[in-house]
Chains A and B, each alone.
Chain A
């Protein structure tokens, strides 16, 4: 109880910062790709709008609501995706997203952490929703 917020090993300062001041938050007008996913169990929602030019993600916005982990994860992911070639973005996986978060995620919270990756995969790449099992592991 005597720690300060900055010392918290789970709710690290940058996670709380991304939660309270999300980057690339909002909507794009006439996006090339738009997709939204939710996690009905806890009510987390994340959606992303992409503007793609010459195979590069020129601009990106996300919207949604939910817990600090789902929203910070989405914010961090958009920072990473902005300006990235689609081919490269395609290679982003679960470990990259968890690594970026940089905290130990319990099984109960893994779906929160990976919701934004699901938006990227299912929406932007039209990949089948086949990573549910992976998330549950």
Chain B
């Protein structure tokens, strides 16, 4: 077992923090959205019930508390991803909005006709569509880095594309559909050396692998709270300060301004320049509690637990006849297993699993270009997190066997 001396997660104790498990479900869809512990919902409830008020503007006590808790999350996130300053931590609704913010505010100013944008075939639609819209508007070109037969990015092709001096390189730290852990450190270094601005989509990275944005060296890093034990509606864009300073606002209106006169407006300082309108205050506070929870477990221990579960599941599924596994070997795989069964459509498997209260994803996983590349319409996907236990994997195996019995 490859725990590297990391603390072992006490999964039984962890599961007690998640009331949803009292329903008896086996939850194998954390790459889609994670479950949330009482600590997170409790922090949110505390805000809604005890100091609900708007931030940054009211002169009474509960609003000061709300503002403080809201801004506390920024420092927690800064520390979690090791950013240099809280000015570099922008609240968004999630990864999708974070990437759209960059495509809009940075892209419209910096991407010109004839420029090259490099993405990868592993990317989620949220790291494809905003760039397609930008490229169409600006007359820029998009190239996709392909995968090899193991579902790993072809680094030789990536280097060839870098030789064409792309304006932007944007890729996922971890593939949501195959679980491939990309060599982000090497890829960012190579892309920066080629003069590109680099965005790393950390939606599947931050919750499971963690990140040190300064060591990684990327210009932008985007992730979602709801995939890391936090609520929906709160996510993060990290951006290097000098880039954020030079960018125009994304949305505009209240709270993002310094002064508004009929003759014109001056914008607020970072990070508030990018936070127009009343924000998802309760959700941001919940995200802070999620960061606390994960930091308390320790990301080394989180990784070690996911490796153990993934190894267990990979072996259990490998033993099943008629089952095809997609994606990399265990060494380069995060807690995601995509597979298909001979003669059984993933949706039929998911329906049968659901009858056993096993929550399994079936579909294209918002990665249709990848599905096309693999030559499949859909796969079934099991994904794991800090609360996943082997018993849930066993129940999945039971559902698969039941499906095979029905469809034999």
A residues in contact (CB < 8 Å) with B: 1, 5, 8, 10-11, 16, 20, 40-45, 65-69, 106, 108-109, 112
Contact = CB atoms under 8 A, between A and B. Distances in A.
A109 B406 CA distance: 18
Contacts of A43: 363-364, 371, 376-378
Interface stretch (B5-13, B161-169, B308-316, B343-351): B343-351
Contacts of A106: 351
23 contacts: A1-B398, A8-B406, A10-B351, A11-B348, A11-B352, A11-B407, A20-B343, A40-B368, A42-B347, A42-B362, A42-B363, A42-B364, A43-B364, A43-B377, A44-B377, A66-B345, A66-B347, A66-B377, A67-B346, A69-B348, A108-B351, A109-B347, A109-B351
B61 interface: no
Contacts of A44: 377
Q: Which 3 A-B pairs have the closest CB atoms?
A: A43-B377, A67-B345, A67-B347
B405 interface: yes
A11 B377 contact: no
B57 interface: no
Contacts of B346: 42, 67
Given A67-B345, A67-B347, A109-B347, A42 B378 contact: yes
Specify which of A5, A10, A44, A67 lies most central, judged by the most chain B CB atoms within 10 Å of its CB: A67
B403 to A, nearest CB: 9
A68 B345 contact: yes
Interface string B345-378: 1111001100100000011100010010000111
A6 B172 CA distance: 45
Interface of B: 343, 345-348, 351-352, 355, 362-364, 368, 371, 376-378, 398, 402, 405-408
Given A8-B406, A42-B347, A43-B377, 14 more contacts: A10-B355, A11-B348, A20-B343, A42-B378, A43-B364, A43-B376, A44-B377, A65-B377, A67-B346, A68-B345, A68-B348, A68-B407, A69-B348, A109-B351
A11 B350 CA distance: 13
B364 A40 contact: yes
A64 to B, nearest CB: 11
B347 A5 contact: no
In terms of DSSP, what is the predominant structure of the interface of chain B? helix
Contacts of A112: 347
A43 B345 CA distance: 10
A117 B103 CA distance: 40
Contacts of A20: 343
B362 to A, nearest CB: 7
Most A CB contacts (10 A, CB to CB) among B345, B371, B407 go to: B345
A41 B377 contact: no
Contacts of B348: 11, 67-69
A16 B347 contact: no
A43 B347 CA distance: 10
B406 A11 contact: yes
A5 B406 contact: yes
Contacts of B376: 43
A1 B346 CA distance: 20
A109 B362 CA distance: 12
Nearest to B350: A108
Given A1-B402, A11-B406, A65-B377, A41 B364 contact: yes
A42 B371 CA distance: 11
Nearest to B345: A67
Q: Which of B346, B398, B406 has the most C-beta atoms of chain A within 10 angstroms of its own C-beta?
A: B406
Given A1-B398, A11-B348, A42 B377 contact: yes
Nearest to A8: B406
Nearest to A9: B355
Given A1-B398, A10-B351, A68-B348, A16 B406 contact: yes
Contacts of B378: 42-43
Nearest to B378: A43
Given A1-B398, A67-B348, A112-B347, A41 B406 contact: no
Contacts of A1: 398, 402
A11 B407 CA distance: 9
Contacts of B377: 42-45, 65-66
Contacts of A65: 377
A96 B406 CA distance: 26
Centre residue among A42, A44, A69 by max chain B CB count within 10 A: A42
Contacts of B362: 42
A5 B408 contact: yes
